[in-house]
C-alpha cells in the first residue's frame, strides 16, 4: 500500500508520497512541494537530499556496507578484475567470457590523438596531474567525431572504452614526461592494469603489484552520489557531452575533501614524521575548533561506521608491504594516529573513522607512485563509475536539468547610485 507523509503548512495539510528503495531506504518525494505550498526545502551540502533513483551502487553507512550492482565490495576486490567491475557497473550484470573479451577490445582499441600527446608534452612539468587530466579529457572532445558529442547518437561502450584508455595513457604519459623519461606507448597485449603500470614504469608488474592495483581500482570504481559523481550528473543533466561531464568530475575529485584527500593524508603523515612523529599533536590540532586543520583520511559524509573500503585497503597495505619487502615508517605513524583517534571521545562521538584515503597512499608509495599522482590513480579507478552514473542519467526517460533553488538572504531592492555619489 502506498505510504504518504502529511505535513501542515500555513494551515493546509498536504500529503507527500514516500518512495522506498529495494534495500528499504525511504525518501519523501517533495517534487510537488513548491507547486502546492510555495515552500522549498533547504539542505546545505545535500546531506538529506536524494538526487536520483539509481541501480548502480548501494551503500549503508551505518552498517559499513558497499555493493556494486548487488555484489559485495569485498567479494569483488578478492575475486574480480577492474575491467570486469567496469563492465558490471555499466551493464548491470557480470560479463560472460565473450562479453568481457569484447569489452577489453573496446577499451584497448583507442589511441590518444597526436594533438593531445603534444598538448601533454607542453604542460609545465610542475603542473598537477589532476589539472592535466581534466584539461586533456576536455580537450579530447575537440578531436572526436561530432557524433560522440551528441548524446542521442553516441556509441556509449565505444566512448567508455576511449575514456578508460585515455585516462590511463594521459596519466602515465605525463608521469614520464615530467621526469624527462622516454614515453612508453600502450601495449594491447597487456591487461589494462599491466599496461597502465608498464606505461608508467617501463616494466610488467609482478603478480602481487598487479593484484594490489586491481584491488585499489576496484575499491575506487564507484561510490554512488558523491561529490564528483554528482558533478558528472549535474553537467550531464544539461545534455552536455560525456567528455565535458567527466572533465567536470575530475575537477570535483581533485579537492582535498574528496579524492584529493589521499595526497593530503600522505602530506600530513610526512609532516607528522618530520615533526618528530608525535601524532598526538596532529590529533589535538584536528580537535581545535580555532584551527582549520582536519585529520585527513578521517570522517565521511555517509559512513558513520568503518568505511568498508578502508578495511580492505588496510589489510592490503600490510600484505603489499610484506610482499614487496618495503618497510615504511609512515605506516607506523598512520597506525598510531588511527589508534589514538579511534579511542578519542572527539572522534568517537562524531563517528569519525578512517576512510578509503587513509591507507591507500601508503600502497601507492610502496609501488613507487609519487604523492601528487595519488588522486589521478583514484580517478583512473573512478572512470567507469562516473560513466555508469552519466549513462544511467541519460538513459532515464524523464530526466530533468539539475537546477536547485535557493533562499535569498541578500539586499532588498535598492536604487543604483551613480559613481560620484558613492
Catalytic residue numbers, as ranges? 300, 357
Q: Which residues contact 7 (CB under 8 A, 6 or more apart)?
A: 13, 14, 16
Name which position in 236, 299, 361, 385 contacts ligand CMC (CB under 6 A): 299
Q: How many CB atoms lie within 10 A of CB 334?
A: 25
Note whether 297 binds ligand CMC by CB under 6 A.
Answer: yes
Among positions 30-89, residues that touch ligand CMC (CB under 6 A) are 45
Q: By C-beta, is 56 or 295 nearer to ligand CMC?
A: 295
Q: Is residue 286 part of the contact set for ligand CMC (CB under 6 A)? A: yes
Q: What sign has the CA pseudo-torsion 317, 322, 323, 324?
A: positive
Distance, CA of 214 to CA of 193 (rounded, Å): 7
- Does residue 11 touch ligand CMC according to CB under 6 A? no
Q: Which of residues 100-129 bind ligand CMC (CB under 6 A)?
A: none
CA 17 and chain centroid, separation: 32
**165 within 8 A of 137, measured Cβ to Cβ:** no
| Non-local CB neighbours of 102 within 8 Å, separated by 6+ positions | none
**207 exposure class (CB count in 10 Å sphere: 0-12, 13-18, 19+):** exposed
Contact between 281 and ligand CMC per CB under 6 A: no
Is 283 a binding residue for ligand CMC by CB under 6 A? The answer is: no
Q: Considering only CA atoms, which of 220, 373, 248, 385 is closest in space to residue 308?
A: 220
Part of the chain binding ligand CMC (CB under 6 A), chosen from 62-70, 133-141, 230-238, 255-263: 255-263
The least distance separating ligand CMC from the CB of residue 293, rounded to whole angstroms, comes to: 8
According to the binding rule CB under 6 A, does residue 259 interact with ligand CMC? Answer: yes
Q: How many residues bind ligand CMC (CB under 6 A)?
A: 20
The span of 142-150, 155-163, 253-261, 316-324 binding ligand CMC (CB under 6 A) equals 253-261
**Pattern 194-223, binding to ligand CMC, x per CB under 6 A?**
------------------------------
| Residue 355 within binding range of ligand CMC, rule CB under 6 A | yes
What is the distance between the terminal CA atoms of the chain, rounded to a whole angstrom?
64
Tell me how long the chain is: 422
| Binding region for ligand CMC (CB under 6 A) | 45, 226, 257-259, 261, 286, 294-301, 350, 352, 355-357
Amino acid at each position: 500500500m502506498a505510504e504518504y507523509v502529511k505535513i501542515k503548512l500555513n494551515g493546509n495539510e498536504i500529503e507527500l508520497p514516500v518512495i522506498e528503495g529495494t534495500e528499504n531506504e525511504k525518501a519523501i518525494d517533495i517534487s510537488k512541494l513548491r507547486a502546492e505550498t510555495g515552500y522549498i526545502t533547504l539542505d546545505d551540502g545535500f546531506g538529506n537530499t536524494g538526487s536520483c533513483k539509481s541501480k548502480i551502487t548501494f551503500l549503508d553507512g551505518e552498517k559499513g556496507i558497499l555493493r556494486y550492482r548487488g555484489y559485495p565490495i569485498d567479494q569483488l576486490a578478492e575475486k574480480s578484475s577492474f575491467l570486469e567491475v567496469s563492465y558490471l557497473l555499466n551493464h548491470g550484470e557480470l560479463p560472460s567470457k565473450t562479453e568481457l573479451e569484447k569489452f577489453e577490445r573496446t577499451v584497448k582499441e583507442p589511441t590518444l590523438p597526436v594533438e593531445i600527446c603534444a598538448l601533454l608534452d607542453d604542460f609545465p612539468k610542475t603542473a598537477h596531474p589532476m589539472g592535466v587530466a581534466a584539461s586533456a579529457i576536455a580537450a579530447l572532445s575537440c578531436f572526436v567525431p561530432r557524433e560522440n558529442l551528441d548524446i542521442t547518437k553516441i556509441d556509449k561502450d565505444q566512448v567508455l572504452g576511449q575514456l578508460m584508455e585515455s585516462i590511463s595513457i594521459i596519466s602515465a604519459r605525463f608521469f614520464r614526461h615530467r621526469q624527462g623519461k622516454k614515453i612508453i606507448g600502450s601495449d594491447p597485449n597487456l591487461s589494462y592494469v599491466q599496461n597502465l603500470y608498464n606505461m608508467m614504469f617501463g616494466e610488467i608488474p609482478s603478480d602481487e603489484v598487479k593484484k594490489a592495483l586491481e584491488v585499489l581500482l576496484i575499491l575506487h570504481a564507484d561510490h554512488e552520489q558523491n561529490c564528483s559523481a554528482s558533478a558528472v550528473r549535474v553537467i550531464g543533466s544539461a545534455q552536455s557531452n560525456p567528455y565535458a561531464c567527466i572533465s567536470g568530475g575530475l575537477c570535483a575529485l581533485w579537492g582535498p575533501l574528496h579524492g584529493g584527500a589521499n595526497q593530503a593524508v600522505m602530506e600530513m603523515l610526512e609532516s607528522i614524521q618530520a615533526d618528530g612523529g608525535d601524532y598526538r599533536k596532529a590529533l589535538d590540532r584536528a580537535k581545535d575548533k580555532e584551527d582549520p586543520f582536519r585529520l585527513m583520511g578521517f570522517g565521511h559524509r555517509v559512513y558513520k561506521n568503518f568505511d568498508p573500503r578502508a578495511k580492505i585497503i588496510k589489510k592490503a597495505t600490510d600484505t603489499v608491504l610484506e610482499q614487496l619487502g618495503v618497510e615504511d615508517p609512515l605506516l607506523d605513524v598512520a597506525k598510531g594516529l588511527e589508534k589514538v583517534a579511534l579511542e578519542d571521545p572527539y572522534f568517537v562521538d562524531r563517528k569519525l573513522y578512517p576512510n578509503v584515503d587513509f591507507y591507500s597512499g601508503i600502497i601507492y608509495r610502496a609501488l613507487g607512485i609519487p604523492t601528487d599522482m595519488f588522486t589521478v590513480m583514484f580517478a583512473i579507478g573512478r572512470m567507469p563509475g562516473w560513466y555508469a552514473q552519466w549513462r544511467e542519467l541519460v538513459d532515464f526517460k524523464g530526466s530533468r536539468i539539475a537546477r536547485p533553488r535557493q533562499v535569498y538572504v541578500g539586499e532588498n531592492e535598492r536604487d543604483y547610485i551613480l559613481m560620484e555619489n558613492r
